[in-house]
Structure 1
Amino acid sequence: MPGPLQTLKILDFSTLLPGPYATMLLADMGADVLRVEAPDRLDLTRVMPPHDDGVSTAHTFLNRGKRSLGLNLKDPASVEVVKRLVAEYDVVVEQFRPGVMDRLGIGYEALKAINPRLIYCAITGYGQTGPYKDRAGHDINYLALAGVSSHCGRQNSGPPPMGIQIADVAGGSHHAVMGILAAVVHRQQTGEGQFVDISMTDAAFALNAMAGAACLAGGVEQKPEGALLNGGSFYDYYRTSDGRWLSVGSLEPQFLARLCEVIGKPELKSYGLSQNPEHQQTLKSAIAEAIASRPLNEWCNIFADQDACVEPVLTISEAAEHPQLKARGMVIEVPKGDGRTQRQIGHPIKFEKTGCESAYVGKVLGADNGEILD
């Protein structure tokens, strides 16, 4: 079945992770995405290890389902190509610092004059306004300035460098997709295009959610290991006897009662909802001692039929083989174009009527120049 966005045409000028991840999601949902890159300034994700058949796995994943056009945007002839293309496109996505596209002659105002229905999404670290709008930054900086890092990690070791790019993906990519699709609905109702300004720092600040609500409206600043969900309670990770980890999220009374019975400490089931820090530490210590007595596989077998919100910490390769993720189709085989396929993470949204498809892995730079320029 064709994807739900099959009528949407997107010009993608973004690089690295946030923009390409966003347009990959849109391509999976059926959008026609044309990625425009400079031939003499390679995107780092094209060369980032590891490689599969000499091609970066980051590139083949982030740019699957997209066509590729190599253009030197400092060349006036290339600018004319973009202006001719934009007349037929619905959305432009870019990730330059504010003002760069304007200096190239293909900023929002210039392109809107050609296509008034154009939706123009700019993804930046700090947004199009404010004193930091021209400042360089990365995921770790956005999380730090947005207050996220301040209440993560442990009191003695400080905030952790996360293994995923939260501000880039959960912030920039996902909010860009939401903003673009909301603007598409607005255009369907009014016929008007618009500028969509995505700040990864704004998005990261919004991710504070409950901690932010407690601080701004309740005056309570959340500290590491100081709240229910960030290590201040028994809701935590526990090391097994073989050096693996088990996640315990048994917050509700019925789940905690089940957990306490399994570990042989039924008398502690009332401690879970206690606001007394000593009760929480007593419960944590009892859970830690019990979990440390057996290897991970034994605990997995013990909790397999227990409704207790206890699950193993899996590696990515283990997660890919987990029956739940396999049943959800979260590992897919994407065609390479030579009869072979590459295993990749599948699309996380499941539609009843319109399926998502990843037609091919990311292409070599400029693979579609001939067809498009002709």
Structure 2
Amino acid sequence: MMKPLAGLKVLDFSTLLPGPYATMLLADLGADVVRVESPTRDDLVRNMRPQIAGQSAAFRYLNRGKRSITLDLKHADAAAVIHQLIDEYDIVVEQFRPGVMQRLGLDYTALAEVKPDLIYCSISGYGQTGAYADKAGHDINFLSLAGVASHMGRADAGPCPLGVQVADQAAGSHPAVVAILSAVIQRDRLGKGAQIDISMADNSVALQALLAPGALNGATEDSYESHFLNGSGFYDYYRTRDQRYISVGSLEPQFKQRLLETLKATELASLSDADLKVQLKEIFATEDLAVWQQRFSDVDACVEPVLTMTEAAQHPAFVSRDLIQTTADGEVQIAPAIRFDNEANELPAEAPVRGADTDLVMADAGLNNDEINNLRAAGVFG
């Protein structure tokens, strides 16, 4: 099946998580993504554990379906090489601190002179301008400054770190992909390129669609366990007898009724949400998780177990969608989650070894063997 983004070409200068996740989504949808990697400074994600065939499982997931070239961007000839490549590409994604690409001669202004319709996306912590533009940060910092962490946790313990990097992915990667594809449509209509500035901190503020608007317009600030969606009511997680957890999201009246019927506790229907929560804690603590799973398995009440990742991979909800797949070499991966025409997605090609495609990419850009060998001898490729 021809994928929707087949024909789009992306030069990816990013590392770690936000940029690679964004370009993985583009590659999953058919774009030709070429990673531009340092020959000497490794992407830290590549060295995480566990390792599979010399690269971490996380790296192999984030960089599947891509190609890789090595290029020493500080080399005097590196910018000229990129300038020669860029005419073949539609999109640049970079994740350096503001000003780095300009010092390398690879900023939007420099590359747009070579390719005026270039789409250039910069992903950074605090944006390309503003008081914090030059400041370092990580996911936990962006969520803290954006106000997210102020209502994400428990009243007696405060905020808690999340296992999913919300600012990096939901506030960095996904807006980047939306912006890039919007710019592709604009370019097709108007023939013009675009310079895209994605701030993970900005977009963390924007993610708070339900709680922030009220707070910004005079309502009492929501804190930990102060809103019905962050633990003030019975919409919450409950510990079971075997120290596992079950989630209850039975907000609507019909779901609440089915919840109480299944628990044989319909007499609790008149309690306030806070008082009902106290009773639910006691009830769920009387049985193991497996018991509650069985009782609610056929009940449409928005009650589901808190599963480990390996348990989730075996759950019928995902098995029936063919979301978890195994390669011929036995590696288990999450398949692309976006479907078209009701077709199950196949796993893309495995992530490249660093620099594996340098010669081919350079040849595609019009360099002959002598030119490639000369650049290599000069140390441009490391």
The interval holding the TM-score normalised by the smaller chain is over 0.9
Aligned to 2:69, the other structure's residue is in SS state: strand
Distance 1:26 1:53, change over 3 A: same
1:85 aligns with 2:78: no
User: Is the contact between residue 70 and residue 354 of structure 2 (CA under 8 Å) also seen in structure 1?
Assistant: yes
Q: Contact 1:253/1:269 (CA < 8 Å) preserved in 2?
A: no
Structure 1 pair 356–177 and aligned structure 2 pair: CA distance change class (3 A): farther
Q: Secondary structure at the match of 2:77?
A: helix
Partner of 1:145: 145
Please give the secondary structure, in 2, of the residue aligned with 1:197. Answer: strand
* Superposition pairs of residues 227-306 of structure 1, within 5 angstroms: 227-271=227-271, 279-306=272-299
Task: Show the counterpart of 1:329.
Answer: 322
Distance 1:112 1:294 in 2: 63
Residue 238 of structure 1: SS of its match in structure 2?
Answer: strand
* Matching residue of 1:274: none
1:160-175 equivalent positions in 2, closer than 5 A: 160-175=160-175
Instruction: Give the partner amino acid of 2:213.
Output: A
Structure 1 residue 298: Cα displacement: 0.8
Point out where structure 1 has 5 or more consecutive residues left out of the alignment.
272-278
**2 CA distance for matches of 1:357 and 1:316?**
20
Separation of aligned partners in 2, 1:317 and 1:364: 27
Q: Say whether 1:347 aligns with 2:345.
A: no
> Displacement of 1:53 after TM fit?
3.0
Matched, 1:314 2:295: no
Shift of 1:326: 1.4
Cα distance between partner residues in 1 of 2:98 and 2:273: 48
CA positional deviation for 1:305: 1.4
Matched letter for residue 48 of structure 2: M
Counterpart mapping for 1:49-198 below 5 A: 49-198=49-198
TM-score (norm 1): 0.94
CA drift at 1:152: 0.8
Whole-angstrom distance in 2 between the partners of 1:357 and 1:66: 15
Structure 1 residues 29-44: aligned runs within 5 Å: 29-44=29-44
Q: Deviations over 1:86-145 (max 9, x none)?
A: 111000000000110010011100100011110000000000111100000000000000
Structure-1 separation of matches of 2:297 and 2:354: 47
> How much does 1:283 deviate?
0.5
CA distance in 2, matches of 1:163, 1:347: 20
Q: CA RMSD in A?
A: 1.4
Once the two structures are aligned, what percentage of the paired residues are identical?
Answer: 53
1:223-278 Cα deviation digits (max 9, x unpaired): 1100111000010110111111010011011111111122222122233xxxxxxx
TM (norm. structure 2) is: 0.92
Q: Is the 8 A contact 1:29 1:357 kept in 2?
A: no
Judged with a 3 Å threshold, the aligned counterparts in structure 2 of structure 1 residues 81 and 357 are, in CA distance, closer, same or farther, namely: farther
Q: Tell me the residue number matched to 1:223.
A: 223
Distance 2:140 2:201 in 1: 10
Change (3 A) 1:222 1:322: same
Unmatched 5+ residue regions in structure 2?
A: 364-382
Amino acid aligned to 2:333: Q
Question: What secondary structure does 1:69 align onto?
Answer: strand
Q: How much has 1:59 moved relative to structure 2?
A: 1.2
Name the SS for the 1:185 alignment partner.
helix
Distance between the aligned counterparts of 1:280 and 1:373, measured in 2?
A: 63
- In the alignment, the residues of structure 2 paired with residue 2 and residue 213 of structure 1 have an alpha-carbon distance, to the nearest angstrom, of 42
Q: 2:344 and 2:267 mapped to 1: Cα distance?
A: 50
d(CA) in 1 for partners of 2:118, 2:345: 24
Deviation larger for 211-220 or 99-108? 211-220
Q: Is the contact between residue 38 and residue 72 of structure 1 (CA under 8 Å) also seen in structure 2?
A: yes
In 1, the alpha carbon distance for the partners of 2:230 and 2:161 equals: 15
Name the amino acid aligned to 1:297: A
| Distance in 1 separating the partners of 2:209 and 2:270 | 28
Match of 1:276 in 2: none
2: distance between equivalents of 1:37 and 1:294? 52
CA distance in 2 between counterparts of 1:63 and 1:348 reads: 15
Q: Which amino acid aligns with 1:342?
A: E
Alignment check: 8 A CA contact 1:172 1:200 kept = yes
The range that moved more, 50-59 or 120-129, is: 50-59
User: Which residue is equivalent to 1:368?
Assistant: 357
3-state SS of the aligned residue for 2:339?
coil
Instruction: Tell me how far 1:358 sits from its aligned partner.
Output: 3.6
What is the distance in 2 between the residues matched to 1:359 and 1:231? 40
Q: Which amino acid in the other structure matches residue 142 of structure 1?
A: F
User: 1:2, 1:356 within 8 Å by CA — same for their partners in 2?
Assistant: no
1:331 is displaced (CA, Å) by 1.0
Matched residue SS, 2:159: coil
Contact 1:4–1:354 (CA under 8 A) maintained in structure 2: no
What's the secondary structure of 1:76's corresponding residue? coil
- Shift, 1:353, TM fit: 7.6
Residue type at the aligned position of 2:142: Y
